[in-house]
A and B are shown apart, each in its own frame.
Chain A
Amino acid sequence: MSNKMLTLMMGFVAFLILAVGVVFVIALAGGGDDDNATPAEGGKSTPKAGASSGKICEGNVLYVPGGEPNSLLDPIQVGDVETSEYIEEIFGGLVTLDRELNVQPDIAKSWDVSNGGKTYTFKLRDNVVFHNNKRVTSADVKYSIERAADPTNASPTVLAYLGNIVGVRDRFANKATSVSGVKVIDETTIQVDLVEPADFFISELTYPVSFIVDKEQVEKNPRNWTQKPNGTGPFKLAEFTPAEKIRLVRNDRYHLGPAKLDEVVFELGGGSLLTRYENNELHVGAFPASLLDAVKGGSNPLSKDYRAVPELATYYFNLNSAQAPFDDPKVRQAFAMSIDREQINNVLFYNALRVADGFLPPDMPGYSEAVTSYKYDPTKAKQLIQESKYAGKLPRITLSYSGAGGTPGDLLVAIQKGWEDSLGVTVQLQAIDSSAFLREQRQGKFQMLSDGWSADYPDPENFLGKLFASDSPLNYSRYKNADVDALLQQGRRETDRTKRYTLYTQAEQKIVDDASIIPLFWPVNYQVVKPCVKDYPSPSMTIPKYRYISIDPKAK
């Protein structure tokens, strides 16, 4: 072997060993030994942030992280938040939500409610066009709703959101060839009849399943039309490269006023979002709670970009009141009282979540501060167990959570330990893959599960009626309280909004008191947004939002 080759290889090996050594030395020396050092540590590593942020702020294109769509971009197929984000921008319906989550006219310009709340008559705007400039008429609305109800399309969401329209269930069961409750009166007037009056029906129409599609395009190319969908929304789909990017361009003829941005680019590739944000690859970044201290710390340049975005959602435990030991309300209450949510929020979430005092999240219309949930009181909890019929013989509890393939987070481990210590009960955590989790939940095959619910439309009915009415298919905890059923029934039918909300508040307090669910937290997302991004809305649910945004190159 030649000496040259030998030296070369030795050199390489030496370099490698050195490199590994250096990494560990730097890591050990640079890493602070205590928490106090961390904000500075976060700051040190970001010398470039701000320095060259000019580049993405100069154009009129917004770069944001995006989720991979779970379905084709078809409004009647979408069921997840990631895909809804794109659907909401590309398509539109009769009504939409504004940034404060109020229902606003979209394709409809106004509507009347008659027949005791059972008939909705929509008057359409006459200047609404599809992306290809074809006018939208009431026939398009009827077609879109009938297409959603067509059983061959098997929309997963049509019954949940449009099931109250007369004839939708019949069409879905193939007992009819059209939806009898949707009637075209003239080109700009359409009438919708409901099975029973529901004040929240107008909110349900903000969900994508009733959004307007172009009959001509769909029928011409039923398989591939979603590659270039002809919607009515503020943006058009320009490019969709799976797992890489989705690019939306402005619809200049948008009837509610065209967007200010030229384009929105959703980067679907993962990687560390915060790092990409710092490297000026993205206008918006997201990060986990554990980094909150580091990002918010005053010395970190990111701290001024930070914002908390509350979610219209609730984390909770579902206790199966059909199974021992949770058939005894005292046991349920004892479990609720032995979770120290304040402490957990402080230690594990850096106080970033909101402890759920009730079930409805604060941003929900109809939210009432008067509702209270059980406070942490381990002494009282122990006493309740003693008074219950399971005193001294509490069985082993299994707490199931969704997601084999992810650690449950420290939250469940902390709560489990808390129960074991204060109630002397054995609790085991069990991960179940999500589809089996949903099925077992539906079949009532669980003792206790960790769950969450996020709003599909902003109305208390979506939380309380869906989850706790004894006849609701989503009432997995088999909760049944005649008073609550009566209140929810009245709430569904009441047309006076203030009265409705009072009814829901009463129902909510009873539900929380019965403790068949234990509300834990109202979640919050953590974001950083570049200062040059103006009017970036932070709504607590998915709404069409990109048309409000502009980029100001001067604000860096």
Chain B
Amino acid sequence: MAPGLFGYTVRRLLWAIPVLFVISVAVFYMLRLAPGDPVDAILQKNYQEEQAAALRKKYGYDQPIHIQYIKYMKNLAQGDLGISTRHRDFTASEVILPKIWVSTRIGFMALVITFAIGIPVGVYAAMARGTFLDPLTISSWLALDAVPAFVLIPVLQWLFGLKLGIVGLGYEGVWSSHMVLPVLILSLPGVAGVARLMRASVVGVLHEDYVRTARAKGLRERTVIITHITRNAMMPMVTVIGLSLPGITAGALFTEQLFGIPGIGQESLAAALAPDFDVILALVLFGSFLFVMANVLIDVLYSLIDPRIRVGAGRGG
């Protein structure tokens, strides 16, 4: 790692602390000041003042909010994310970690497929520039992008699950044939975006000197495309891939709901509706933290790939 790089990374991460602090305070207060709290949700129709008081005491809600916050942060510093009230009394980590893991594996598969298709399609479209095949390629993938998951899912479930009977529809773990449809539904709509960016990027390097030189040297066209054009056009992809990474841990609400996948997307919505204070806060902090990490990672990667870019200097894009 370059000498300045470490210090830079640390500075970037330090920036996140005050912002995360403000977010956590804001969310903490907002949840507790909103009408309706976990105690209402737990007691339902059995609400009696004594019972509510006992529960408030148990979860510490009887304390002033700032005391609760300090206590929460103390526990957080020891790696304790708190207690779930929607899944009473599992710890927040017991609730969210397995679900994040499920979503992440599915999301990762989908991400790989998106880029594995999107990058060659983009290169292809760029090479086919000027013919009708270029707009045709991109616009057919765009069509897929325009179909909301909750429309696509019932149609595909019906076709492959009921009509053709090829795939089962229930959840049986991540590594099962039942996950083929969900992964495809998560990956294919994203292809258009990746392809479009890849295409622009390839078009950008098409006329660079090194490409012309390579061609002049009489290298085979495939070699030129793969080693010279594609490799250099991959730079902007680093940003896109990097920024997509935190997203896959957030889960995909609709796909999870309609396929019954126990992922974090479903849990987030349910936690927000419950409300499940500690789980919500853990998800918010986790999401923001990952996003920051991804951003830092991209910058560091950039400087490693292309030494001309100094970290910390103004960089567009």
Q: Given that A433-B36, A438-B40 are contacting pairs, would A272 and B157 also be in contact in the complex, using a CB cutoff of 8 Å?
A: yes
The answer to the question of B261 belonging to the interface, with a C-beta cut-off of 8 Å to chain A, is yes
- Chain A residues with Cβ under 8 A from B137's Cβ? 9, 13
Contact A152 B161 (CB under 8 A): no
Contact A79 B262 (CB under 8 A): no
Look across to chain B and name the residue whose beta carbon is closest to the beta carbon of A440: B35
Q: Give the shortest distance, in Å, between A37 (CB) and chain B (any CB).
A: 16
Contact B57 A276 (CB under 8 A): no
The answer to the question of B16 belonging to the interface, with a C-beta cut-off of 8 Å to chain A, is no
Q: Given that A26-B163, A70-B87, A439-B36 are contacting pairs, would A243 and B47 also be in contact in the complex, using a CB cutoff of 8 Å?
A: no
> What is the total number of residues of chain A having a CB less than 8 Å from a CB of chain B?
65
Q: Given that A79-B44, A152-B58, A433-B36 are contacting pairs, would A269 and B157 also be in contact in the complex, using a CB cutoff of 8 Å?
A: no
Binding site for A on B (CB under 8 A): 34-38, 40-48, 50-51, 54-55, 57-58, 86-90, 94-95, 98-99, 102, 120-121, 123-124, 127-128, 133, 136-137, 140-141, 143-144, 155-159, 161-163, 165, 168-173, 221-222, 225, 257, 259-262, 269, 273-275
Query: CB-defined interface of A9-28 with B at 8 Å, one 1/0 digit per residue?
Result: 11001001100100100110
Q: Give the shortest distance, in Å, between B134 (CB) and chain A (any CB).
A: 12
Provide the bound-state CA to CA distance between A71 and B276, in Å.
13
A270-B170, A440-B35, A442-B40 provided; 15 other pairs, C-beta below 8 A? Answer: A20-B144, A30-B163, A71-B89, A79-B43, A152-B58, A156-B44, A156-B55, A158-B51, A242-B90, A243-B262, A244-B171, A272-B169, A279-B165, A439-B40, A453-B45
Contact B40 A433 (CB under 8 A): no
Provide the bound-state CA to CA distance between A23 and B121, in Å.
24
List the count of A-B residue pairs having beta carbons below 8 Å apart. Answer: 179
Among candidates A13, A70, A154, A279, residue contacting B140 with C-beta atoms closer than 8 Å: A13
Sample of 15 A–B contacts (CB below 8 Å): A1-B124, A1-B221, A5-B120, A6-B124, A23-B155, A72-B88, A80-B44, A244-B173, A269-B262, A270-B259, A271-B171, A271-B260, A275-B170, A405-B269, A473-B48
Look across to chain B and name the residue whose beta carbon is closest to the beta carbon of A42: B162
Q: Give the shortest distance, in Å, between A221 (CB) and chain B (any CB).
A: 14
Look across to chain B and name the residue whose beta carbon is closest to the beta carbon of A405: B273
Contact B43 A16 (CB under 8 A): no
The answer to the question of A479 belonging to the interface, with a C-beta cut-off of 8 Å to chain B, is no
* A79, A156, A242, most chain B CB atoms within 10 A: A156
- Chain B residues with Cβ under 8 A from A152's Cβ? 58
Contact A442 B47 (CB under 8 A): yes
Provide the bound-state CA to CA distance between A332 and B307, in Å.
78
Among candidates A10, A20, A172, A243, residue contacting B133 with C-beta atoms closer than 8 Å: A10
Provide the bound-state CA to CA distance between A71 and B144, in Å.
41
Among candidates A69, A72, A244, A275, residue contacting B169 with C-beta atoms closer than 8 Å: A275
Binding site for B on A (CB under 8 A): 1-2, 5-6, 9-10, 13, 16-17, 20, 23, 26-27, 30, 45-48, 68-72, 77, 79-80, 151-152, 154-160, 169, 172-173, 242-244, 267-272, 275-276, 279, 281, 404-405, 433-440, 442, 453, 473-474
The 5 closest A-B pairs by CB, nearest first: A270-B260, A243-B262, A436-B36, A269-B171, A435-B36
Provide the bound-state CA to CA distance between A433 and B37, in Å.
10
Provide the bound-state CA to CA distance between A244 and B102, in Å.
11
Look across to chain A and name the residue whose beta carbon is closest to the beta carbon of B89: A72
Q: Give the shortest distance, in Å, between B72 (CB) and chain A (any CB).
A: 19
Q: Give the shortest distance, in Å, between A28 (CB) and chain B (any CB).
A: 12
- Chain B residues with Cβ under 8 A from A156's Cβ? 42-44, 46, 51, 55
Contact A157 B46 (CB under 8 A): yes
Provide the bound-state CA to CA distance between A160 and B46, in Å.
6
Contact B55 A13 (CB under 8 A): no
Provide the bound-state CA to CA distance between A158 and B54, in Å.
11
Provide the bound-state CA to CA distance between A13 and B257, in Å.
29
- Chain A residues with Cβ under 8 A from B34's Cβ? 436
- Chain B residues with Cβ under 8 A from A154's Cβ? 51, 54-55, 57-58
Provide the bound-state CA to CA distance between A40 and B55, in Å.
54
- Chain B residues with Cβ under 8 A from A17's Cβ? 140, 143
Contact B170 A269 (CB under 8 A): yes
Provide the bound-state CA to CA distance between A242 and B143, in Å.
38
Contact B51 A435 (CB under 8 A): no
- Chain B residues with Cβ under 8 A from A1's Cβ? 123-124, 127-128, 221-222, 225
Among candidates B38, B171, B222, B273, residue contacting A2 with C-beta atoms closer than 8 Å: B222
